[in-house]
């Protein structure tokens, strides 16, 4: 039953039917399916299929926008559920996170931010299209110990490198850890640009953040 519902959620995103995505997500929550299961086995596969269809020319930008809209609205329903499952934990550290300049993909970054915050981190989410200066200013202002850089485009991965360099030039590199992520980002890219770690998804991001902060 739950597998069928999750497949229907995936299909509703692929079919570009946000109202159905929302309806099915509500049903899944009411049916007791864990929010992370709904995200990872229902919503994310749908977005991946939409992305694949876009790259093969079967889908166009409006398809991406409609499906992203469905996923965003489903995430709005799931976010309080994720937070409700977090225990009251002591703050494990401060994290500044954002999608790098030139890149407006926000769903994955926001999911990582929600999961970190639900796991006890104090999160400063700078949003999307964030220039190096804003990361530098926020780290100085908050004393954050961790920076998360998201990039979804092969053309903006290089901006992760530029931001790491800018943080070094600003004299902040020794006091912070940096984790990178986003669909095209890999462990070897993280190593190449001098990041402290790479996370493939939001669960790994929480594990990595905890490990990097020595919490």
Residues that bind ligand HCB (CB under 6 A): 44, 47-48, 50-52, 54-55, 61, 64-65, 68, 102-109, 111-112, 148-150, 152-155, 179-184, 199, 201-202, 205
Output 33 or 152, the one with its CB closest to ligand HCB. 152
3-state secondary structure of 58: coil
Q: How far is the CB of 77 from ligand HCB (least distance, A)?
A: 15
Q: How far is the CB of 157 from ligand HCB (least distance, A)?
A: 8
Q: How far is the CB of 13 from ligand HCB (least distance, A)?
A: 9
Output 24 or 109, the one with its CB closest to ligand HCB. 109
Output 1 or 55, the one with its CB closest to ligand HCB. 55
3-state secondary structure of 183: coil
Neighbouring residues of 123: CB distance < 8 A, sequence distance ≥ 6? 94, 95, 97, 113, 116, 117
Extract the tokens encoding 88. 């009251």
Q: How far is the CB of 90 from ligand HCB (least distance, A)?
A: 22
User: Which residue in the block uniquely carries the two structure tokens 């954002």?
Assistant: 98
Q: H/E element holding 95? A: strand 93-99
150 φ, ψ (degrees, to nearest 5): -105, 135
Output 1 or 20, the one with its CB closest to ligand HCB. 20
Residue nearest to ligand HCB (CB): 108
Q: How far, in Å, CA of 160 to CA of 130, rounded? A: 11
Output 60 or 88, the one with its CB closest to ligand HCB. 60
Q: How far, in Å, CA of 191 to CA of 160, rounded? A: 12
Are 99 and 151 spatial neighbours (Cβ–Cβ below 8 Å)? yes
Q: How far is the CB of 63 from ligand HCB (least distance, A)?
A: 9
């Amino acid at each position: 039953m739950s597998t069928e519902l999750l497949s229907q959620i995936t299909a509703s995103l692929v079919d570009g039917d946000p109202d159905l995505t929302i309806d099915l997500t509500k049903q899944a929550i009411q049916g007791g399916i864990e929010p992370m299961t709904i995200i990872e086995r229902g919503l994310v596969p749908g977005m991946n299929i939409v992305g694949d269809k876009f790259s093969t020319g079967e889908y166009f930008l409006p398809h991406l926008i409609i499906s992203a809209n469905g996923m965003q609205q489903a995430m709005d329903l799931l976010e309080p559920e994720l937070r409700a499952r977090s225990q009251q934990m002591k703050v494990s550290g401060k994290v500044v996170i954002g999608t790098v300049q030139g890149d407006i993909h926000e769903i994955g970054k926001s999911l990582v931010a929600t999961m970190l915050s639900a796991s006890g981190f104090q999160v400063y989410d700078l949003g999307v299209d964030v220039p190096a200066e804003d990361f530098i200013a926020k780290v100085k202002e908050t004393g954050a110990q961790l920076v998360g850089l998201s990039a979804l485009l092969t053309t903006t991965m290089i901006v992760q490198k530029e931001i790491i360099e800018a943080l070094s030039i600003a004299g902040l590199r020794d006091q912070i850890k940096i984790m990178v992520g986003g669909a095209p980002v890999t462990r070897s890219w993280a190593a190449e640009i001098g990041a402290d770690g790479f996370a493939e998804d939001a669960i790994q991001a929480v594990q990595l953040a905890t490990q990097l902060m020595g919490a």
